[in-house]
Chain A
Amino acid sequence: MRVTANMSAENSLYNIQQGRAKLDRLQELTASGANVNRPSDDPINTRLLLDIGDKLKAGAQYSSNIQKTSTWQQFTYTALTGMSDAVRLAKKLVSSIVNGSSDPTERQSAHDQLVALKQQMVDMGNTQMGDQYLFGGANNTKPFNYSVTASPYYAGDETQQNIEVGANSPIKMNVLGNQVLAADEALATPYGTVNVLKTFDDLIAAVGDSTNPSNVANIKTASIALSDGAQQINNAISDVAARLSRLDNAGKMNASIKNTLETVYSNTQNVDYAKLAVDMNQQKLAFDASLSATAKLSQMSLLDYLK
């Protein structure tokens, strides 16, 4: 084939351009540290990376859901423990005057203590997180009131709220106040059937006060109901503890999935600097050589030898 100086020049330019393009790509990889800088770099892996990115975003949201739900459950746990303590104190008090008392002062004192304990129960039942009532269901009104002394004790509603802690993996968020404190008014009774608040009212009436005598039979009946109520609250505590444990598990699994996904992501996306450095050196050498060869050869001409 006949070769002209212009052909050599064209070839040199083409090859220098190719070399530059390769160096440029290596430079981009080194500078960004990422294998895929735009979808066309690697369309198939782009798909994978995007998918992982979506999953990581979803995971971050679930993690936030888990954390917030966890806080809610811990609040609930604390409130329920408070109720349980109040019931325990009430039981102790009742056992001391289970046969009634003829002393008006003692009767009045027991009466006052029980009223205070009931108020404590109601306060616990009205616990708020932010502006939401923990035990109020979904209608955002105060679920319990001191002044209420007859059914319905519960002013909330019976909506069970759910939160997603994983894709299509809901967990119960709230404990319904009536199931804990006024179970005979509830549609569902997972913890027991005792109306704890009514029991308190019954006890307060049965114990009597400075002017009214005690009703021993009623004290006994109410005292049995109070024991059942204590069990009912403990059942609710167990339920919340189980939720906390499930949240903990979900959190750990979420973190582990995140870890795995991030490993896959970085395996795909992060460049191998050692390999890049070697490639870069090779390419630099080749590029140097092509520049040098072009410079030397393109200067040669017959003109230099013609006089």
Chain B
Amino acid sequence: MGLSAAMEIGKNGLNIYRVATEVTGENIANVNTPGYSRQRVILETAPPTTANGFPLGTGVHIATVERYYDSLLQQQMVNAHTTQGYDTTKSTVLQQIEPSFNEVAQDGLGAAVSNFYASWQDLTLNPAGSAERQAVLSRAQILVDNFNSVSKSLNDSIATQNASLVPQTQDINQILGNIAQLNGQIKTTELVSGNANETRDQRDQLVRDLSQKIGITYTENSDGTTDIKLGANNLVVGSTAGLLSLVPNGSISDVYVTQAGGGAAAILVPQPSTGQLGATLALRDTIIPGYLAKVDTLAMTIANQVNTQHKLGFDLNGLAGINFFDPAATNAATMAINPLLTSTKQIAASGSALLAADSSNALTIAKQQNALTMLGGTATFNSYFDGLVSQIGLDVRASKTTLAQDEAFTKQLTSLRESNSGVSLDEELTNLVKYQRSYQASAKLISTATDMMDIVIGMVR
């Protein structure tokens, strides 16, 4: 050992603090990169020698460059993202549906029902009047238009949900492919040299993105890869990825899965019920059809009740009444005024074939508005519809509240992750100063050793 050893330590120091500055630089550069985890240089003393008769280290040595990463937090974030993905989609779509039922303005389907029956009341005052008869037909047409329009907007929503499955599954497949690819890179990199920190960050970010779209479970393997499962289905195993596909089933599509490693696509059982994909399926298959079914029930009950009573009456020509609404209609979308009812004279206001100016049948039809017809004889048409509006209001409000909670929870988790893994510029700047000073000191060591070397050489001269 000699002066050259001191110079060697100095040189080592220069190298290492240069690397440390590079790591700090990487942190500073990625301060705003989503999913980036700050890295730090782990320094340790270089192996000691006993050349001087006692053990002394040979300078500093970089043990590893590690990232701040909390796997428990990752797990919680994956779960939170799944819930948030589901609630976001549900809330957004429900808020789009709500305006169709915004009866608070006292204008819409409920008002159309009221006005329709009011026109029958008017008819009781002048059963043979052509103006009153025309009003009944016009109000009926408005009612039918309202039912058609609400039904169309709900059916459109269902179709939109179904169509949105395509980009969603494509997105998921792409992420699965990327995760598998990154798995491969991580495994190869880490076999050769240490930690593939950035690649792991990217993959973890992708896992979080994926969890927002669909509820997955994942396992971190000892070789650095992460396996993804959806229920019992393997979506990613090592560097192979499975995929989701859509197979049309009637007017809608079912989600099929191809397992990682190949095999035939098989229908996913059960169909996804979590994440954005789950919300889309729930909206398509349960929530919106539930509203639609109620609108259909209301439309068909009104049509049947009016038809039944209308057929018991007699029109202005003394003929027995025909169906008022189209009897071939099966739901709110197809509801229509009977195409055979072409003249106002065919409205059967009279209760007798001989009495043109009798109003008894019109009065019976008008009274249907207050009859407890719906929900097993507990609700009128109006209160049934009001109940539906109120239910949609409750659903929207509940989903908004849940979403607000999800956002607060996710924000809290993000804060925790940021607290652990986020880059603090102040901290990095401090490190930078620290490393710069150490670099300066190492350089000073070399120059001091050089001076000492000069002294020694001078002695020889």
Contact = CB atoms under 8 A, between A and B. Distances in A.
Contacts of A163: 124-125, 359, 363
Given A37-B104, A39-B392, A44-B390, A10 B411 contact: yes
Interface string B356-389: 1111100100110110000000000011001101
A157 B125 contact: no
Interface string A285-306: 0000000000000000111001
Given A3-B419, A57-B114, A303-B425, A39 B355 contact: no
Interface stretch (B94-102, B200-208, B210-218, B439-447): B94-102
Contact of B114 (A40, A54, A65, A164): A54
B358 A6 contact: no
Contact of B102 (A38, A137, A173): A38
B367 A164 contact: yes
Interface string A162-184: 11100110100100000000000
A68 B122 CA distance: 9
B386 A159 contact: no
Interface in B92-124: 95, 98-99, 101-104, 106, 110-111, 114-115, 118, 121-122, 124
Interface in B107-166: 110-111, 114-115, 118, 121-122, 124-129
Interface string B327-364: 00000000000000000000000101011111110010
Contacts of B386: 47, 50-51, 54
Given A38-B98, A54-B114, A168-B370, A161 B393 contact: no
How many interface residues does chain B have, given as a range? 35 or more
Contacts of B124: 65, 161-164
Most buried by A among B95, B121, B350, B427: B121
Most buried by A among B99, B358, B392, B430: B358
B61 interface: no
How many interface residues does chain A have, given as a range? 35 or more
A58 B419 CA distance: 62
Most buried by B among A10, A140, A303: A140
Contacts of B352: 138, 159
Contacts of B104: 34, 36-39, 46, 49-50
A159 B358 CA distance: 7
A157 B354 contact: yes
Nearest to A265: B106
A2 B356 contact: no
A136 to B, nearest CB: 7
B324 to A, nearest CB: 19
Interface of A: 1-7, 10-11, 14, 34, 36-44, 46-47, 49-51, 53-54, 57-58, 60-61, 64-65, 68-69, 72, 130-133, 136-140, 157, 159, 161-164, 167-168, 170, 173, 301-303, 306
5 contacts: A3-B419, A57-B115, A130-B126, A131-B129, A157-B354
